[in-house]
Structure 1
Amino acid sequence: MESTTLQNAADTKEFSRRQLLVTASVGGLGVALAGPLSNALAAAPTWSRAKALDEVIFNAVNSGQIVGATVIAAKNGDIVYQRAAGFADRESRRPMNEDEVCRLASMTKPIVGVTALALIDRGQLGLEDPLTRWLPDFRPKLADGREPVITVRHLLTHTAGLSYGFLEAPDGAYHRLGVSDGLDASGLTLDENLRRIASAPLLFEPGTGWHYSVAIDVLGAVIARVTGLTLPEAVRTLVTDPLGLSSLTFVAEPNTVLATPYGDASPHPGRMTDPFSLPFGPSAIVYSPARAFDSSAFPSGGVGMVGTARDYLRFVEAIRTGGAGIIHPDTVAAITRNAIGDLPVAAAGPGFGWGLGVAVLKDPLAAKLPLRAGSWNWAGVYGTNFWVDPAEGLSVVALTNTAVAGMSGDFPTALRRAAYAD
């Protein structure tokens, strides 16, 4: 099924060029999740919003804003839309496909958060546990020298007072200490990175502010200590294996071909080198695309995973439908309910709060989005994003290989609006 624009294109050459960029579509065939874990195919009505989504994706790819994208949507448990467009590797002309493995970056965080919550549901970990119970040497201090109590809850809600290097000025403490944000080829062990994080002063008393941070990397270390497993083993045992999500891993298999990453540039995104630096906020994000294959790199709970859009959709659908047995339904409610009061969530924007691991929409008017209140979402700096609208029964995952245009800005905003087009 093509978009209205494509169907009515008068320019046959342009029409053919666009067809070459499109590699797959489900159109009128829905994929029944039958519970969020089934792969069975079943007939479903053509989704009325498919053409609007096609238009957004084709425009982003054909304009060169996005190199390649794969987008999948489920409505009330049925896959009603799936589209891959553009190039997984522009230079070799390898097209993006529906099962493309992409670097998830911060879309790793909800998976690791759910892993921690699974341990809480089993009574092995507590939300109010002080970190020193599990990481006795992790004792960051405030600027005045006081050592406050940081809890697991503070980590999940990004209210611990920690930060990210790319959110600091180039002379900030994380840069001076050589803290890894988890995207670079730092060569550090997780223990050494934790030591450096703990050496930086906290931005505020835990619980009194919100600041996006390496908190989920620290949480990954807690999970490893609680379980006696590595973080990848714990995630696999508690979440991805029970849900059958084989593509969601911390280290790509040697024979896996990942989508080639690109960084925003003019007139078109540039192919990432290794390392690759992209200006962002007050400084820059430093990427190492090869890190996805490096089994010696510490597993970053904040940004370290790879996977397909379909598997990620199955993950968020498991949460939307009550936890699929990996966490309790009341834990799902806690994840997706604002847990920080009126604290501003700068990284999500106006109208958003934060639950136990995801941004939660409180005020759609303030956010200027068509999503319903109670929707939850997050995104990643390799160019990925997702959202879940429980009131609509809608889950959408969009993985691109273009940083950061696939994460924030015109493309994800237009995609959200198209998914609610009448």
Structure 2
Amino acid sequence: MKPFLLSVAALVITVPAVAQPGPSRATAAASPAVPIDKARIDRALAAMVSSGRAVGVSALVWKDGREVYSGIAGEADREANRPMRRDTLAQIYSMTKPVTGVALMKLWEQGRFGLDDPLARYLPEFSQTRVFAGLDASGKPILRAPDRPILIRDILRHTAGFGYGAGDDHPGREWAMLEPLNPDHDLAEFGRRLAKVPLLADPGRRWSYSAAVDVQALLVEKLTGIPFERYVREQIFVPLGMTETAWTQPEDRYPRLAAMYEKGAGGKLQRASEKEQRGLNFNPDRKLTMGGAGLVSSVDDYMQFARMLLNNGSLDGVSILKPSTVKLMATDQLDPLVTERSWLSSKGNGGFGIDFFVRTGQPRDARENRGALGEYFWDGRASTLFWVDPVNKITAVFLVQVIPFDGTLHRDLRRAVYGDDYLGPKGD
């Protein structure tokens, strides 16, 4: 049987740093306890479905080294009358990004590159990348050399200046013409094409969600000489026992894949196109394995990855990263001078580490997601989510298949886990 393939080319609609230390032991000890109220979480999941915001949802929560909650509500496929189950598979889109970050940081631990090395030292095509500086009097684009090279640190924290899809400006039109993330291109061709798309800003000047994580995947291939997909499978998925997480799934698993739903007229959910059901770039002959998207996973499988992070880089005797590397990834890497941050502030009171949002302060108002200082997380285009909370020793995985991104689902789940009034520690 032919495999089915799931990938994504445009994630700019996902709406969903150096360094401030994480909470001290004294601070963590002062944090109020977080009792897990199973009935409250059950009600939250059921309300997501009954309100019409989701067709089916699944959540899994671990705390203090054990499973403390598992729940489902609704249907994986409404039209087929197929219920949501614990083993349901889902497209996780940008929750692929932290996996890619871990893959690359394993090489950093081996001394294969430095965070402040110029990217062009390893990927020379980026030595010629230019910055879009506006239009001249005749309406022609002004392109100039960046004021400093793109550093590897920049591709880890979305400060390289890359874009993430077609747009109305000159870089967006160049992207549309060059199609870097076309699935017919392998990662090497992706890199050659992306390097020709002008940067939106000088490196290090602004936070802009981008194709940088796909560049991370390309860098993994360049440094190892191993196809990125195979490297991740051998170095992360197999050691962690993640048997159902992959870019390429066997066709016999397809009946377990949750259907994708999108908001139609009046906000009502309707079944998305068949193209969306198997990924925006479903193509049996696809060459591209994205670093920024494309994985399919189950709630238990992705929890293995999340638990590894909560356990400071290891799980069940298997070491994936050093504790110091996990701490680095979960520390805000954005210089305070980086004040242009697009929609990042909508994620909460915090900054950005290495492929994670990082909370640096308590929730500022009642509308913000509940969470603890020092937590880190990321989500996906279809409204999926995971987070790691070292203070309370909690990690959670949430699967749903709703586009466009609906942050109200995350708000309700977090309030169900933490309680409406939870603010967590203030920090040092």
* TM-score greater than 0.5 by the shorter chain: yes
Please give the alpha-carbon distance, in whole angstroms, between the structure 2 residues aligned to 1:178 and 1:355. 30
Aligned mate of 1:334, from 325, 328, 331 = 328
- Do the aligned partners of 1:292 and 1:304 also contact (CA within 8 Å) in 2? no
Per-residue CA deviations over 1:390-415 (Å, capped at 9, x if unaligned) read 111111110101123xx432111111
Once the 2 structures are TM-superposed, how far is the Cα of residue 220 of structure 1 from its aligned partner? Answer: 0.4
Deviation at 1:198, TM superposition (A): 1.6
**Helix, strand or coil for the counterpart of 1:341?**
coil
Q: How far apart in 2 are the matches of 1:232 and 1:309?
A: 21
- Would the aligned equivalents of 2:351 and 2:358 in 1 still touch at CA under 8 Å? yes
Q: 2:344 maps to which residue?
A: 348
Partner Cα separation in structure 1 for residue 35 and residue 364 of structure 2: 28
Structure 2 contact 332–352 (Cα < 8 Å) conserved = yes
Change (3 A) 1:81 1:293: farther
What does 1:7-406 align with in structure 2 at a 5 Å threshold? 48-139=36-127, 140-143=129-132, 144-147=143-146, 148-165=148-165, 168-169=167-168, 172-173=172-173, 175-180=175-180, 186-257=183-254, 258-267=257-266, 268-275=268-275, 289=279, 291=281, 294=284, 296-324=286-314, 325-342=319-336, 343-344=338-339, 345-349=341-345, 350-366=348-364, 368-404=368-404
| Preserved contact between residue 382 and residue 403 of structure 2 (Cα < 8 Å) | yes
Distance apart, 1:294 and its partner CA: 3.7
Is 2:369–2:410's contact at 8 Å kept on the other side of the alignment?
Answer: no
1:115–1:239 contact (8 Å) kept in structure 2: yes
Q: Could you tell me which amino acid in structure 2 is paired with residue 142 of structure 1? A: V
Using CA pairs under 8 Å that are at least 6 residues apart, name the structure with larger relative contact order, 1 or 2.
2
Change in 2 beyond 3 A, CA 1:248/1:103 = same
Report the equivalent of 2:28.
Answer: none
Alpha carbons 1:68, 1:402 under 8 Å: kept? no
The code of the aligned residue for 1:399 comes to L
Residue identity matched to 2:259: T
Q: How many Å apart are 1:366 and its aligned residue?
A: 3.0
**Distance in 2 (alpha carbons) for counterparts of 1:288 and 1:145:** 40
* 1:159–1:209 CA contact under 8 A, matched in 2: yes
CA apart distance, 1:204 = 1.5
Cα separation, 1, equivalents of 2:241 and 2:396:
19
Q: Quickly say closer, same or farther: Cα 1:403–1:119, change in 2 above 3 A.
A: same
CA distance in 1, matches of 2:322, 2:216: 20
Alpha carbons 1:88, 1:259 under 8 Å: kept: yes
Q: Give the unaligned 5+ runs of structure 1.
A: 1-45, 277-286
Change in Cα spacing, 1:385 to 1:192, as seen in structure 2 (3 Å) is same
CA distance in 2, matches of 1:55, 1:288: 30
Q: 1:297 deviation in Å?
A: 3.6
For residue 370 of structure 1, report the CA deviation from its aligned partner: 2.4
For the 8 Å contact 1:251–1:293, the answer to whether it is kept is: no
8 A contact 2:245–2:297 mirrored in 1: yes
What is the CA distance between 1:159 and its match in structure 2?
0.7
Q: TM-score, normalised by structure 2?
A: 0.79
Contact 1:162 1:214 in 2 (8 A): yes
Query: Displacement, 1:179?
Result: 2.8
Corresponding position of 2:29: none
Of 244-253 and 187-196, the range deviating more from structure 2: 187-196
Once residues 272 and 112 of structure 1 are traced to their aligned partners in structure 2, the CA distance between those partners, rounded to angstroms, is: 27
Q: Which amino acid aligns with 1:319?
A: L
Report Cα offsets for 1:227-266 as digits up to 9, x if no partner.
1111111111221111111112111122112111111223
Classify the secondary structure of the residue corresponding to 2:344. coil
| 1:101-139 deviation per Cα after TM superposition (whole angstroms, max 9, x unaligned) | 111100000000000001111222322232222222233
Contact 1:47 1:80 in 2 (8 A): no
Look up the equivalent residue of 1:332 and give its one-letter code: V
Tell me the matched-pair count.
361
Change in CA separation of 1:333 and 1:67 when aligned onto 2, cut-off 3 Å: same
Q: Name the amino acid aligned to 1:210.
A: W
Q: Per the alignment, in what secondary structure is the counterpart of residue 316 of structure 1?
A: helix
When normalised by structure 1's length, the TM-score is: 0.80
Distance 1:115 1:47 in 2: 34
Q: CA deviation at 1:323?
A: 0.4
Cα distance, 1:156 vs. partner? Answer: 0.7
Q: 1:72 to 1:170 in 2, by over 3 A?
A: farther
Q: Which amino acid aligns with 2:130?
A: K
